[in-house]
Amino acid sequence: MFKIGCHLSSSKGYQNMAEEAHRIGANTFQFFTRNPRGGSAKAIDENDIAEFQKLAQEYGIEVILAHAPYTLNCCSDKPEVREFAINIMKDDLKRMEYTPNQLYNFHPGSHVGQGIETGIEYIIDALNMVLTAEQSTTVLLETMAGKGSEIGSQFEEIRQIIDGVKLQDKLGVCLDTCHVSDAGYDIVNNLNGVLEEFDKIIGFNRLKAIHLNDSMNPLGAHKDRHQKIGEGTLGIQTFEEIINHPSLKNLPFFLETPNELEGYEKEIAILKKLYV
Ligand code: FE
Ligand code: FE
Ligand code: ZN
């Protein structure tokens, strides 16, 4: 089954997201756990969750992906910024247990001049403080564009982070198509080669989700500007290959393109036609 969805607003709760997803032809979705700037989260409404679980059954929603606030930085040079990120992630993971066995994605962070090695150490420390043996949620490291001092644009960096974490079975990876292209991986001309490299360095067993975004910028630009599907430098053919690739086709795909709901609905319809 083709698992396709997009980023939705979580402001009206889980039930509303299920309804919205279903309305636009999606059977999965991504959402921010709280204000993307990292403010306090709305209390979990257990009724809303119960209604959501019913709808999810009815609509065939098996996977949902929560996204941590993108302003968190686990590897800041400021201790209070690192501590803030850790506290938010701990709280998010507690909330995730209301919808067990789902996915939680975060940006590894920016080392802000301290160097990649120091940054990676802080990210490992954070994950070792946040992850618990009891959690049912898989925490995903997102592949990044390498904008500024972002960590996680190279597969080797992600490997190094995983290697330092104690509870590795709680970890996965979310591959963002705009980000990997921006990072210098040529998925337009050499998708197979890039995926082989991913498998060799990180391992396909870690790959749990794909962010489907076209890019406004050329290969290796390190800019992180998403474009609508087929309207950027990746092009529609690349997306056709990605969603049908034997190693990817059973993963959940999430659009984070510059769209409102109608735009997402159109892109989902286009991708469904291309999925064989
Ligand atoms: Fe992201
Ligand atoms: Fe992304
Ligand atoms: Zn991005």
Q: How many CB atoms lie within 10 A of CB 101?
A: 12
Model pTM?
0.98
One CATH from 3.30.230.10, 3.20.20.150, 3.40.140.10, 3.30.160.100 for 3-274: 3.20.20.150
Per-residue confidence (pLDDT) for residue 39, from 0 to 100: 81
Q: Which of 37, 156, 169, 196 is catalytic?
A: 37
Per-residue confidence (pLDDT) for residue 38, from 0 to 100: 74
Q: How far is CA 222 from the centre of its chain?
A: 18
Q: Which of 95, 107, 111, 206 is catalytic?
A: 107
Instruction: Reply yes or no on whether 176 is catalytic.
Output: yes
Q: How far is the CA of 257 from the centre of ligand 2 (A)?
A: 9
- Alpha helical stretches, state H, the chain: 13-23, 46-59, 79-96, 116-130, 155-164, 177-182, 191-201, 236-244, 261-274
The one-digit pLDDT tens for each residue of the chain (276 residues) are 999 999 999 999 999 999 999 999 999 999 999 988 778 888 999 999 999 999 999 999 999 999 999 999 999 999 999 999 999 999 999 999 999 999 999 999 999 999 999 999 999 999 999 999 999 999 999 999 999 999 999 999 999 999 999 999 999 999 999 999 999 999 999 999 999 999 999 999 999 999 999 999 999 999 999 999 999 999 999 999 999 999 999 999 999 999 999 999 999 999 999 999
Q: How far is the CA of 134 from the centre of ligand 3 (A)?
A: 31
Instruction: Reply yes or no on whether 142 is catalytic.
Output: yes
How far apart are the C-alpha atoms of 138 and 172, rounded to whole Å?
A: 6
The one-letter code for the residue type at 158 is I
Backbone CA torsion sign across 168, 40, 108, 242: positive
Instruction: Reply yes or no on whether 70 is catalytic.
Output: yes
Instruction: Reply yes or no on whether 225 is catalytic.
Output: no
Q: Which of 20, 104, 111, 142 is catalytic?
A: 142
Q: How far is the CA of 187 from the centre of ligand 3 (A)?
A: 16
Q: How far is the CA of 57 from the centre of ligand 3 (A)?
A: 30
